């Protein structure tokens, strides 16, 4: 069996009423999840090493609009819930539960037969891994991208690439929900 055939070998063919999950879905999911998490953690380490801890001068990336400004976030996305006692550990626990649910949803319940489900949930898993790692290792999430336009009073909360992957994955899931459930033959044929 050649490498491509091994990747596309069917997984989970014993699930009644569900199409088998092509092995390429596992690859797609894990490349996005682990690759995205590695990218997030690498960029955090590089920026915090080069720019310094929070309070250090920001570094302009695109004029006065995008800058690297380090920040610690004990809350969820964009600092939501940051004032909760034990918030960072609570959000780490929620990330772990979400990660386990994603694995169940895709590979036990069989929704990985749809490549877009595998891709969007791979992005969400990447964001969850990146931010959960920070919470467990540092007690907070390291954020560093700051977008603002002072002339119109626009100041977006400081974020990181894990946040971007979480949002992109969530938007992707909403679009999938609007699309509706694909037919079983469409998901396997599109492998």
pLDDT digits (tens, 9 = 90+) for 43-94: 999 999 999 999 999 999 998 899 999 999 876 655 555 555 555 667 677 8
Active site residue 83: no
- Least Cα distance to 137 among 78, 83, 92 occurs for 92
pLDDT digits (tens, 9 = 90+) for 129-145: 999 899 889 988 999 99
Annotated catalytic residue: which of 40, 114, 134, 143? 143
The pLDDT value recorded for residue 76 is 60
Stated as kind and residue range, the H or E segment containing 132 is: helix 115-138
The pLDDT value recorded for residue 185 is 44
pLDDT top residue among 104 and 165: 165
The pLDDT value recorded for residue 173 is 87
Tell me the mean pLDDT in the region 13-21. 60
User: What mean pLDDT is reported for the chain?
Assistant: 81
Active site residue 40: no
Does pTM surpass 0.85? no
Which value, to the nearest 10 degrees, does the dihedral of the CA atoms of residues 117, 123, 129, 132 take?
Answer: -100
């Amino acid at each position: 069996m050649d490498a491509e055939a091994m990747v596309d070998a069917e997984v989970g063919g014993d699930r009644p009423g569900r199409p088998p999950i092509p092995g390429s879905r596992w690859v797609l999911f894990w490349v996005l999840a682990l690759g995205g998490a590695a990218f997030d953690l690498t960029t955090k380490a590089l920026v915090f090493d080069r720019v310094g801890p929070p309070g250090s001068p920001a570094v302009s990336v695109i004029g006065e609009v995008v800058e690297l400004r380090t920040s610690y976030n004990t809350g969820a996305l964009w600092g939501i819930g940051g004032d909760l006692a034990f918030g960072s550990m609570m959000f780490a626990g929620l990330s772990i539960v979400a990660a386990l649910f994603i694995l169940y949803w895709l590979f036990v319940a069989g929704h990985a037969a749809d490549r877009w489900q595998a891709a969007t949930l791979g992005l969400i898993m990447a964001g969850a891994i990146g931010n959960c790692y920070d919470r467990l290792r540092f007690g907070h999430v390291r954020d560093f991208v700051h977008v603002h336009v002072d002339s119109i009073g626009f100041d977006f909360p400081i974020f990181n690439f894990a946040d971007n992957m979480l949002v992109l994955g969530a938007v992707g899931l909403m679009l999938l929900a609007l699309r509706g459930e694909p037919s079983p033959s469409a998901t396997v044929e599109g492998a």
